[in-house]
Structure formats: C-alpha cells, structure tokens
Chain A
Amino acid sequence: MIDMKPLYEAVLKGDAATARALTEQALASGMEPITVVKEFMVPAMDEVGRRFECNEYFVPELLLAARAMKAALELVRPLLVKSGVEPQGRVVVGTVRGDLHDIGKNLVAAMLEGGGFEVVDLGVNVTPEKFIEAVKAKNANIVALSALLTTTMPAMRATIEAFKAAGLRDQVKIFVGGAPITQKFADDIGADGYSENAPGAVTLAKVHAARAA
C-alpha cells in the first residue's frame, strides 16, 4: 500500500509539483480516484481552512494550497467523471456586475474546488443573465456572489431578483461574500448564506450539500 500521507502534506504546504506527482503514483498503483480525493486532498484543504481561521495560514498559503490541490485534481477529475462519481455540488462563482475585483472570488473558487465541488468561475463584472445562463448550462445547485465595493452590493440583490424572475430561485442556494458584505445584508437581500472568508464559504456549501443529499 502506497503511503499517501505525503500527498496530504504536499497540499497543505502548497507544493503543487509533489502533489501532482504523488497523485499520479497513487492512481498508477491502482488507488481509487475517489479515495485519493476524499481521504487525502479534501482533509488537507479542510486543515488549510482551519489554519486560516486560526491565523496560522494567511492568503498566500491559501492560494498555494489551492493551486496544489488543483494540480492534483486535474489528474483525478477525468477519472471521476468517467466512473460516474458526482462532485459534492456544482457551484457557479463570480464577482457581480460593476465590480472588477477578483481575489476574494478566486480564493472562494479555489477552496471550493479543493473541497470537492465542481466550480464554474465566471470571472468579474458578471451580469445576472450570465449567472442564470451558467446555472442552466451546468445544472449548478449553488451560486456564490462576490463584491468588494459597496457600490456593487445592490447588484447582488439584482442577481437574486433575476433568479426569481427566471423561476430558478428554488433550484439554487445563493451565497454572498466580500469585504463590505454582512450577515444582515445577506438576510436583507434574501441570500441563503454569507461567509466572511473563503473557508467559511466551503463550509456553507458543504452544509448545503449534506442537507441536499
């Protein structure tokens, strides 16, 4: 049996090359792709999130860990698809219309991917219509909206309203986040959840996935 603890460590330390090489080895040795993900990668990203919450990790460590996870996932994902393994959920992520900032959105996207979700990243300045199109096209069940500017916070409400108008509001959970966003604002605009950081967004998504299962 191949020792996979180093894969966990590689993701935790953000060593993309090692994470990818070890994943390759594991798959070549016959380990089930889902085992690689569930037993080693996801726990590593959970630990990354925990360390961030405890101020042991900061944004650079988060980014590097996510990059390592992504490098390893690139090998595993096609195999998971081939064997019919569904992701924990499909999340459409984007920074709302009028807002061009992407660091928070990128972190959330990377951490969600690391958490076992399939992520459709629409980028920045995303119109409500684009969010709706992506949800339809990908059959996504979660939408994560990001905003850094107070001026673009109303675009979150507009996006949620657009989902209602399109008759899709009940099919998706909509989470919001970003520097000016608060729980109160999330409640006011009818969002399903709010997180003040990327690891928190993963927790929200996981809670939703568990409830939906």
Chain B
Amino acid sequence: MKIGFTPAVYEHAARFIGRTPWEVSRDAALMFEAHRRAYLEYRHQVIAVGIDIYNLEAEAYGAKIEACEGDAIPAIHRPLLTSLEEGLTLKPFDPQRDGRIAMVIAVGQRLKREFPEADVRIPVAGPFSIAFNLRGISTLCEDAVLRAEDTAKLLVRLAENQAVLCRAIASAGLDVAFFESAAAPPILSPNLFREVELPALKRILHIAAECLGHAVPCIMGGNTYPILDDILSTGTNYLVCNVETNQAAFVASVWRTHPHVKIRVNLDPGVVACSEPKRIYRGVDRVLEIIGDRTNCVMGTGALPLETPPENVRLIREYVAHSTPCAA
C-alpha cells in the first residue's frame, strides 16, 4: 500500500526565493514565486497560499501586523478588541477590500492556472484562531472561563462572519484550507472546548461546506484525541493527527468509527528539521507503524519551519516511497 507524504508549506515557501517571510507575506509576486518553487520541489497535495496564514482575518478586521526582520514570522502585538462586547458587534470584513485577502486569493488563482493539477486552497481561520489574534491569547483564555457564554457567542459571530470569505474563495474557483489551531487541550479543556468552541466550529464548517458544495478539512492543532468525537461531529472529511496527541489511539479510533474520514498523521517537527538521517528514518517508521494498512491515512508535517532543509523533505518522501513500495 502506498502512503502519501505531504508537507504543510506556509512560511517555509519564503526560503525558496531567499526573501524574508515579512517580504513574501505582503507581495503578490513574491508569494506566487515562493509557492510556485515550493510546489515544484515538493509536489505536495495541497498548496495553502500564504505565509502568516493565521493573521489574515485579524488584519482584515483592523489588527496591525508588526513589520519584522530576518526569519521572524509576522505577528500581531496589540489585540484589537479591548472587550468581548466589541467583538460581539464586529462587522464582517470585506475580502475584496480589507487586509491582504484579495491578494492571497489572486495569488491562489495564479497558482491554479500555473498548476491546474494542484489542489490550491486559501487559508480560512477558525473562530478561536481569529479571536486569539483579536483578543490576545491570555485574555481569550480568561474570557473562556469567566464568561463562557459570551465567548461562545463571540466565536459564533466570528464563524458567521467567515461566510463572506468562503463565498469569495468559492467565486474565485478555489477551495478552502480550514485550520483552527490552539482551541484544543492544553489551551482549552475538553469541557470548555465543547461549551465555548464546538458550536462555532460546527457553524463555520457548515458555512464553508455550503459555500463550496462539499465538506472541508478541519486542520486543528494541539492534543485533539480527547475531543476527537466532537471534531468528527462537525461532519468534516479530513483531520490532522498531531504529534502532541495520542496518534495511535487517534488513528485507530477514526478508522473504527469514520473510515471515510482522511487523516494526515504528522511527523514530529523536530525530526523533520533534524540533520541526522537515522533519526528522520526512525520518525518516519514510527508514523508508518501507526498508519499500518489503513487506507485513510497520509503522512504529513505540521507547518514546516522556514529553515527546514528541503533535502530533509526529499529524504522523507523517498524513504516513505521506498518503505511502502507495493503501489508506488
């Protein structure tokens, strides 16, 4: 059985053109060229267009991304929302006008023309990821405990506001790469996840599926095994099995209950970035053992760090192909 290998390339694309993540994140021509070269090198399953993909919506709402130098990844320093109430009345942004979203969609369209066979997707952040940037993580965590009901309302509002973005992506002939990092343990407890995040997560995945005409992947970071059944209840057709969770139990559980749901089983990012081939092989073998003969799994990585040597990614791809030769 052949097992696919697909790295997640965001800021890592910048290294292919020798420019900083900051430069590439704000220039359509550089972003196109960076992702074009990354795709030519890796031929990964999904081109998720962007560099600092977590910042797009928050910036469109008005948050300021601080300029940064060197290898630093652009980030938001000052939360836009000083209170939950401000968030509860937040109007949707205009994807044609606000922030860099129109630019990212245009780059996606250009990449799709360049590589018609590629699965080109535009990042769509989940409500917790957006709130994280708008409110600040510490404040949002406190909100979640002290004002759970209002926080859940804020997240549902942010989810509903994403409809305009999903529609713009669909109109552009592209697909959605949905991700919702940080809403899982240890940031939120399973109970808090269910109370505060799950209704909004269901809502956004429903909205995205409606706009696109099919279910969308739910890429979620953290220790997701304790909330796996809840994530599956959203109707998603694709999950990520992170290195932070019990990967063996996660994969076995999905295979048992939802064998039609695809899983990207991630390698340890430390292994992907390391300079010792033997350690890389051990890391790959570990994931291959977890996957076994389950046909719903591919091997992947979390977001590849900028400095990951492309030869490591090549090494992994070749080793995976060599280790699973039957259908190669």
| A contact set with B: CB distance below 8 Å | 14, 52, 55, 57-61, 63-64, 67, 98-101, 103, 106, 125, 149-152, 180, 182, 197
Q: Nearest Cβ distance between residue A182 and chain B, in whole angstroms?
A: 6
In the complex, residue of chain B having the shortest beta-carbon distance to the beta carbon of A151: B71
Known: A99-B72, A100-B68, A100-B72. Is A150-B141 also a contact (CB below 8 A)?
no
Q: Nearest Cβ distance between residue B266 and chain A, in whole angstroms?
A: 14
- Measured between alpha carbons, how far is A57 from B189 in the docked complex, in Å? 7
In the complex, residue of chain A having the shortest beta-carbon distance to the beta carbon of B304: A150
List B107-166 residues whose CB lies under 8 Å from chain A. 137-138, 141-142, 144-146
Kindly count the residue-residue contacts between A and B in the assembled complex, taking CB atoms under 8 Å apart.
Answer: 71
Chain B interface mostly? loop
Q: Is the beta-carbon distance between A151 and B306 smaller than 8 angstroms?
A: yes
Most chain A CB within 10 A, of B75, B144, B188, is at B75
Which of B73, B188, B269, B273 contacts A60, CB < 8 Å?
Answer: B188
- Measured between alpha carbons, how far is A197 from B307 in the docked complex, in Å? 25
Q: Is the beta-carbon distance between A60 and B72 smaller than 8 angstroms?
A: no
Q: Nearest Cβ distance between residue A57 and chain B, in whole angstroms?
A: 8
6 closest A-B pairs by beta carbon, nearest first, are: A150-B305, A60-B141, A151-B71, A58-B189, A100-B75, A60-B145
Q: Nearest Cβ distance between residue A93 and chain B, in whole angstroms?
A: 15
Which A residues lie within 8 Å of B70 (CB)? 98
Which A residues lie within 8 Å of B187 (CB)? 58-60
21 contacting pairs across A/B (C-beta < 8 A): A55-B186, A58-B186, A58-B188, A58-B189, A59-B141, A60-B187, A60-B188, A60-B192, A63-B138, A98-B72, A100-B68, A100-B77, A103-B138, A106-B138, A125-B72, A149-B72, A149-B73, A150-B269, A151-B305, A151-B306, A180-B270
| B contact set with A: CB distance below 8 Å | 66, 68-73, 75, 77, 137-138, 141-142, 144-146, 185-189, 192, 269-270, 273, 305-308
Which A residues lie within 8 Å of B306 (CB)? 150-151
Known: A64-B145, A98-B70, A100-B77. Is A150-B307 also a contact (CB below 8 A)?
yes
- Measured between alpha carbons, how far is A60 from B139 in the docked complex, in Å? 9
Known: A100-B66, A103-B137, A103-B138. Is A14-B145 also a contact (CB below 8 A)?
yes
Q: Nearest Cβ distance between residue A22 and chain B, in whole angstroms?
A: 19
Q: Nearest Cβ distance between residue B75 and chain A, in whole angstroms?
A: 4
Most chain B CB within 10 A, of A55, A67, A101, A182, is at A55
